[in-house]
Structure 1
Amino acid sequence: MTYQDRLLKAIPGGAHTYSRGFDQYPVNAPKILKRGKGAYIYDENENKFLDYGMALRAVNLGYANETINKAAYAQMEFGNNLTRASLIELEAAELLIDTIDSVEMVKFTKNGSTATTAAVKLSRAYTGRMMVARCEEQPFFSYDDWFIGSTPITKGIPQKDIDNTKLFNYNNIESLEKLFEQYPTEIACVILEPSSSEHPKDNFLNKVKEVCHKYGAVFILDEMITGFRWHLKGAQHYYNVTPDLCTFGKAMANGFSVAAVAGKREIMELGSIEKEGAERLFLLSTTHGAEMNGLGAFVESVKFLKENKVIEHIWKYGKDLIDLLTNMAKKYGIENNFVAGGVDCSPYYLTFDKDGKNSLGLRTLFSQEMIKNGVMMPWISVSYAHGEKELALTKEALEKTFEVYKKAVDEGYENYLVGDVIKPVFRKYN
């Protein structure tokens, strides 16, 4: 029995995140991984790949960073999870408050979904409303019903949860205004990422905030991806906007399981217990929410980010990589069929057929050929461990990959792709 067969037999979907599933990768991708170090991952046979997945963007310093690991291990030696709040729990909370301008209180948890759902719950309690407005173009906010009900995958979700989440468009303030005009007293909160594939235009984020406050809704910025990449103080600082609530995770602890919901005291303290006689909100109560090794990793990660100018490095490498991808595509005459772009610290690439239509087949083929040449690039996540050596390795892989890719554009990817085309995560049927 293969590793893939064993995974699918033991774990629904074969992994604990759908974007790690076999349907997201070409057939020649490693089926299981043994370890990672720096910018590289290794399969069970120690085959080495330069990685641009970086644990779904959770690793921004590099795999198995010794400084961060030592800090985490030191907290493990202290017991890792104690009967009452720990010293590192307080230190981490005060550090986030000191680092992020909008944060007055914070609650830690283990993953982004629980953090964003906690923000929604706080908003509903604060406003007495039930509806959520979320950005349509941004791919993922939570595994909970309030979000999944707004995707094509609605099986098992109550109709009221489907009906209570409405969609608006990024960089289109009119689409949000129309929602509020339709539901002026029903929307509890607006949630969006500050940025994903493009910068906000025409002061869009502050306009979202203004609309929220005009109608009495809570303004939430989800910084799972942007946090500790765009700026040490978050993309909210980079774009000069102050949210009511914000959420963090992924890169805040270089791969250790740490996430947070944070923001204004008047909203966050709804989850407090010290106000005698106040009606209680059961916010978050997780045994492992303040696990000490992860919080130790977070504290040390912030220190490492500051001392090593990590964010500046990520911005520069990302720009160099976009330029490399663009120039290589032009060299092979496929600049209309392979397009690199995005915010410099978080690049993307798109694949188009000869008719200009988005092509998952060509995307799968690109990934297949890059893997043949030692590079995993399901998407692009840049880390401090990516340097000149890694850029040179990427260029070598692109040279060979684009030779095949160009032929596939002209002749059809079907003539060069082995196995099935990758599929969208959010699809109605398998």
Structure 2
Amino acid sequence: MSYQDRLLKVIPGGAHTYSRGFDQYPTNAPQILTGGKGAYIFDPEGKRYLDYGMALRAVNIGYAEDVIDNAAIEQIRNGNNLTRPSTIELDAAELLVEQIDSVDMVKFTKNGSSSVSAAVKLARAYTGRELVARCAEHPFFSYDDWFIGSTPLTRGIPQETLQKTKLFRYNDIASLETLIAEHPGQFACVVLEPAATEEPRDGYLHKVQELCKKNGIVFILDEMITGFRWHMKGAQHVYGVTPDLCTFGKAMANGFSVSCIAGRREIMELGSIEMEGRERLFLLSTTHGAEMSGLGAFVATVKFMHEHKVVEHLWDYGRKLTAMMERQAQAHGIADSFKVGGAACSPFYLTLDKSGANSLALRTLFSQEMIKNGVLMPWIALSYRHGDAEIALTEQAIDAAFRVYGRALEEGTENYLQGPVIKPVFRKYN
């Protein structure tokens, strides 16, 4: 029995994140991994792959980074989870408040879904409203019903919940203005990422902030991906906006399970307990939310990033990588089909057919050929441990993959694909 069969027998979907599922990778991808070090991962046979998945962007320094792992181990030896708040819990909270300009208070948890849902709950409590406006172009905010109900995957979600979340378009302020006008006085919050594949244009985020303020709507920025990659103070600092609430996770602890909801005291303290006689809001109450090992890793990660200028490295490496990929695409005559874009610290690539439409078949083929040449690149997530040797190895793999890609573009991907085409995560049917 294969690892994939064994996984599917005991885990629904075969993994604990749908983007790790077998339907997201070509058939020659490793079905299971045993470990990672630096920018590399290893399968049970000991085969090494240069990784650009980096644990779904959660690792921004490198796998098994000793100084960070040791900080986590130190907290494990301190007990890892105590009966009252721990000193590392206080240290971590004070560090985040000091680090992020918009933050007065913070609440830690273990995953981004919990953090963003907590932000939505706070906004609803603060405003007394129920509707949520969320950005259509940003692919994932939470596994909770308020978000999933706004995707094609509505099975198991009450009908009334489906009506509570409305969509607007990124870099299209008119779409948000129209939405608010159609539901006056009903929106609790606007939820979006500061940037994803597209960066803000023409002061877009400032316009969102002003629109929220004008209409008494809580402005929520989800910095799961942008945080600790765009800037140590978040992408909100890069783009010069001040959210009411913001969420962080992924890269904030170099792969350890740490996330948080943070923001203005006036809103955050609704989840507090010291105001006698005030109606309570039950915010986050998680046994493992302030697990000491993860928070120790967070504190060590921030220190490492400052000392080694990690963010600056991500931007520099990203510029070199994207320039190389564009140069290779030109050399192989596929520049109209394979495109690279996005912020240099977090670039993306597109695979387009001859009509200019996104092609999952070409994306599958590209990923398949990269794997053949020792590189796993389901998307592009960068780390401090991606350096000169890694960009050289990547260029060798790109050169080989583009040769096949170019032929498939002319002759058809069906002649080169070894298995089925990868599928969208958010699809109605399997």
**Normalised TM-score (structure 1):** 1.00
Superposition deviation, residue 355 in structure 1: 2.3
Matched, 1:15 2:18: no
Instruction: Tell me the equivalent position of 2:153.
Output: 153
CA deviation profile, 1:316-342 (whole Å, cap 9, x unmatched): 101111111110000000000100111
Superposition deviation, residue 356 in structure 1: 1.9
Q: What is the correspondence of 1:157-176 to structure 2 with a 5 Å cutoff?
A: 157-176=157-176
SS for the counterpart of 1:30 is: coil
SS for the counterpart of 2:155 is: coil
How far apart, in 2, do the equivalents of 1:18 and 1:206 lie? 33
How far apart, in 1, do the equivalents of 2:319 and 2:168 lie? 29
How far apart, in 1, do the equivalents of 2:244 and 2:161 lie? 23
CA deviation profile, 1:166-193 (whole Å, cap 9, x unmatched): 0001111000000110011111000000
One-letter amino acid of the structure 1 residue matched with residue 75 of structure 2: Q
Matched, 1:410 2:410: yes
Instruction: Tell me the equivalent position of 2:319.
Output: 319
SS for the counterpart of 1:252 is: helix
Superposition deviation, residue 213 in structure 1: 1.2
SS for the counterpart of 1:33 is: coil
Instruction: Tell me the equivalent position of 2:380.
Output: 380
One-letter amino acid of the structure 2 residue matched with residue 43 of structure 1: D
SS for the counterpart of 2:347 is: strand
Instruction: Tell me the equivalent position of 1:90.
Output: 90
Instruction: Tell me the equivalent position of 2:242.
Output: 242
How far apart, in 1, do the equivalents of 2:77 and 2:428 lie? 46
Superposition deviation, residue 353 in structure 1: 1.3
Matched, 1:41 2:41: yes
Gaps of 5+ in 1: none
Instruction: Tell me the equivalent position of 1:298.
Output: 298
Matched, 1:54 2:54: yes
How far apart, in 2, do the equivalents of 1:159 and 1:317 lie? 46
Identity among equivalent pairs (%): 69
How far apart, in 1, do the equivalents of 2:94 and 2:206 lie? 27
CA deviation profile, 1:191-228 (whole Å, cap 9, x unmatched): 00000112211111111011111111100000000000
Runs of 4+ in 1 over 4 A off after TM superposition: none
One-letter amino acid of the structure 1 residue matched with residue 301 of structure 2: S
Gaps of 5+ in 2: none
One-letter amino acid of the structure 2 residue matched with residue 76 of structure 1: I
Cα RMSD for the two superposed structures: 0.5
SS for the counterpart of 1:330 is: helix
One-letter amino acid of the structure 2 residue matched with residue 98 of structure 1: E
Structure 1 contact 354–410 (Cα < 8 Å) conserved: no
Aligned residues: 430
Instruction: Tell me the equivalent position of 2:142.
Output: 142
Superposition deviation, residue 140 in structure 1: 0.3
Instruction: Tell me the equivalent position of 2:273.
Output: 273
CA deviation profile, 1:381-423 (whole Å, cap 9, x unmatched): 0000100000000000011111100000000000000110000
How far apart, in 2, do the equivalents of 1:331 and 1:248 lie? 39
One-letter amino acid of the structure 1 residue matched with residue 201 of structure 2: K
How far apart, in 1, do the equivalents of 2:391 and 2:339 lie? 18
CA deviation profile, 1:32-78 (whole Å, cap 9, x unmatched): 00000000000011100000000000000000000100000000010
Superposition deviation, residue 358 in structure 1: 1.2
Farther-moved stretch of structure 1 (317-326 vs 245-254): 317-326
Instruction: Tell me the equivalent position of 2:211.
Output: 211
Structure 1 contact 146–165 (Cα < 8 Å) conserved: yes
How far apart, in 2, do the equivalents of 1:404 and 1:412 lie? 11
How far apart, in 2, do the equivalents of 1:240 and 1:123 lie? 22
Instruction: Tell me the equivalent position of 1:190.
Output: 190
How far apart, in 1, do the equivalents of 2:271 and 2:309 lie? 36
One-letter amino acid of the structure 1 residue matched with residue 401 of structure 2: T
Structure 1 contact 71–297 (Cα < 8 Å) conserved: yes
How far apart, in 2, do the equivalents of 1:357 and 1:115 lie? 35
How far apart, in 2, do the equivalents of 1:362 and 1:387 lie? 27
How far apart, in 1, do the equivalents of 2:93 and 2:127 lie? 26
